[in-house]
A and B are shown apart, each in its own frame.
Chain A
Amino acid sequence: MSGKPRLTYFNGRGRMESIRWLMAAAGVEFEEVFLETREQYLKLIKDGHLLFGQVPLVEMDGMKLVQTKAILNYIARKYNLLGKDLKEKAQIDMYVEGTIDLMTMILMFPFSPPDQKEAQLASIVEKAKTRYLPVYEKALKQHGQNFLVGNCLSWADIQLLEAILTLEEKKKDILAQFPQLQDFKARTSNIPNIKKFLQPGSPRKPPPDDAYVATVLKILGPL
């Protein structure tokens, strides 16, 4: 019995990836169970492990945690990544929610119909460049600090780095007009726990491919 948190999900990014990022940044080692068949998934439900019949599932500290945001909040609180007071927490929450809105568009993208993909991608890039990235560029420029909130590493920084790297996979030069974010990316990627997560062989999952999409649809049914 390892005592390490155990993550149950498909063998890919999806909604579990932000959780993997946060755990890695906090220096938490974890185990993973990968869903490969519908039978496995139905058994999890039958055995009462999934509160709302859904994954992600993270077993940790005697709890079976579900709901991505509940899991992320628990980890962020436990490892002091939520600022030092209510106002800092509110600022972190706002930034994180914005980034997650953008990440959710990217997450859903592989599952959109082929004839809509080009338009969806254009929409993601447009929203990133006009609604989201400028906010973080401005925040960093205004206070001139290394981290988004309170001059201290928080969940907001980790979520932003994940978003930046994921966006760059879709459009290599997405940060072309955002010099502060370019520096932020370099700096934050060098934080030891994060640097380790970015090395080959870490639990970080590759971008979703057709096989991943097929597995998810097979296990969950049509989304």
Chain B
Amino acid sequence: MAGKPRLHYYNGRGRMDTIQWLLEAAGVEYEEQFIESKEDLEKLKKDGALLFQQVPMVEMDGMKMVQSRAILNYIAAKYNLCGKDLKEKALMDMYIEGMMDLGEMIMHHPFKPADAKEKDLALIIEKATTRYFPVFEKVLKDHGQDYLVGNKFSRADVQLLEVILMTEEEVKPDILSKFPLLKVYKGRISNIPMIKKFLQPGSARKPPMDEKQFADAIKIFY
């Protein structure tokens, strides 16, 4: 009996990525059970392990949690990464939802039809550089603090770093070229010990979507 949280997903970033980041930032050790075939997924469903027949699923504290936001909210609250009062939580939630909207676009991009990919990429870059990153650049500029909310490291910082790196790796390497404060912020958050460890080679961090991951995702989920 491990007692460690167990993450059920396929061996790729997808919707489990943000959850993994948060666990790592909170210093929580966990296990991963990779779904490698449609049969693996069907078995989980048949065993009644997936409330809405979907993954991610995280077994933790006696629960089989599903739905990314439910899982993230639970981890953030348990490990005190979610703001000290209603207003800080509201601010964090707003920022995080914006980040998730951008993350969602990036996550879906590999699955777009070939003839729509170029336009989709241009749209992602446009939204990243005109709708989302300017907001966070301004937040940092306005308060001049090291962290997004409440002058304290929180889930919002973990998620923003994740989104920045995801955009650089999967969309455009110099996406932060016009955002000097975000560049400094990225360096600062990357240096937080738990996060620095996660960013080293050999950690459990998943690489960006490649051909094998894409093929696996199609095989398992579609």
Binding site for B on A (CB under 8 A): 51-53, 61, 63, 65-70, 73-74, 77-78, 86-87, 89-91, 93-94, 96-98, 101, 131-132, 135
Kindly provide the distance from the CB of A20 to the nearest chain B CB, expressed in whole angstroms. 18
Given that A52-B98, A67-B98 are known contacts, is A94 also in contact with B93, CB under 8 Å in the complex?
no
- Bound CA–CA A217/B63 (angstroms): 43
- Bound CA–CA A101/B67 (angstroms): 10
Q: Mark B59-74, 1 if CB is under 8 A from A, else 0.
A: 0010101111111011
Given that A51-B98, A69-B97 are known contacts, is A93 also in contact with B131, CB under 8 Å in the complex?
no
Taking CB atoms, residues of chain A closer than 8 Å to B74 are 86, 89-90, 93
User: Which residues of B99-147 have CB atoms within 8 Å of chain A's CB atoms?
Assistant: 101, 131-132, 135
Q: Are B52 and A66 in contact (CB under 8 A)?
A: no
- Bound CA–CA A132/B66 (angstroms): 13
Q: Are A52 and B86 in contact (CB under 8 A)?
A: no
Other-chain contact of B63, A70, A90, A96 (Cβ < 8 Å) = A90
Q: Are A86 and B51 in contact (CB under 8 A)?
A: no
Q: Are B93 and A67 in contact (CB under 8 A)?
A: yes
Taking CB atoms, residues of chain A closer than 8 Å to B63 are 87, 90-91
Q: Are B90 and A52 in contact (CB under 8 A)?
A: no
Taking CB atoms, residues of chain B closer than 8 Å to A89 are 73-74, 77
Q: Are B52 and A70 in contact (CB under 8 A)?
A: no
- Bound CA–CA A32/B114 (angstroms): 43
Q: Are A63 and B51 in contact (CB under 8 A)?
A: no
B87 interface residue (CB < 8 Å to A): yes
Q: Are A67 and B94 in contact (CB under 8 A)?
A: yes
A-B contact pairs, 17 of them (CB 8 A): A51-B98, A63-B87, A67-B94, A69-B69, A69-B93, A70-B96, A74-B86, A77-B89, A86-B77, A87-B61, A90-B65, A91-B63, A93-B73, A96-B70, A97-B67, A97-B69, A98-B67
Q: Are B70 and A74 in contact (CB under 8 A)?
A: no
Given that A52-B131, A94-B65 are known contacts, is A63 also in contact with B77, CB under 8 Å in the complex?
no
The number of chain B residues with a CB under 8 A from chain A is 30
Kindly provide the distance from the CB of B125 to the nearest chain A CB, expressed in whole angstroms. 16
- Bound CA–CA A68/B70 (angstroms): 15
Q: Are B78 and A86 in contact (CB under 8 A)?
A: yes
4 closest Cβ contacts across the A-B interface?
Answer: A93-B70, A70-B93, A67-B97, A97-B67
Kindly provide the distance from the CB of B186 to the nearest chain A CB, expressed in whole angstroms. 20
Given that A77-B89, A89-B74, A135-B51 are known contacts, is A70 also in contact with B67, CB under 8 Å in the complex?
no
Taking CB atoms, residues of chain B closer than 8 Å to A91 are 63
- Bound CA–CA A62/B149 (angstroms): 17
Q: Are B132 and A52 in contact (CB under 8 A)?
A: yes
- Bound CA–CA A61/B63 (angstroms): 35
Taking CB atoms, residues of chain A closer than 8 Å to B94 are 51, 65-67, 70
Taking CB atoms, residues of chain A closer than 8 Å to B71 are 90
B53 interface residue (CB < 8 Å to A): yes
User: Which residues of B31-85 have CB atoms within 8 Å of chain A's CB atoms?
Assistant: 51-53, 61, 63, 65-71, 73-74, 77-78
Taking CB atoms, residues of chain A closer than 8 Å to B101 are 52
Given that A93-B67, A93-B70 are known contacts, is A70 also in contact with B97, CB under 8 Å in the complex?
yes
- 10 new A-B pairs (CB below 8 Å) besides A86-B78, A93-B70, A97-B69? A51-B94, A52-B132, A61-B87, A65-B90, A73-B90, A77-B89, A90-B63, A90-B65, A131-B53, A135-B52
Q: Which residue in chain B gives the minimum CB-CB distance to A66? A: B94
Kindly provide the distance from the CB of A149 to the nearest chain B CB, expressed in whole angstroms. 12
Taking CB atoms, residues of chain A closer than 8 Å to B61 are 87
Q: Are B73 and A90 in contact (CB under 8 A)?
A: yes
Taking CB atoms, residues of chain A closer than 8 Å to B93 are 67, 69-70, 73-74
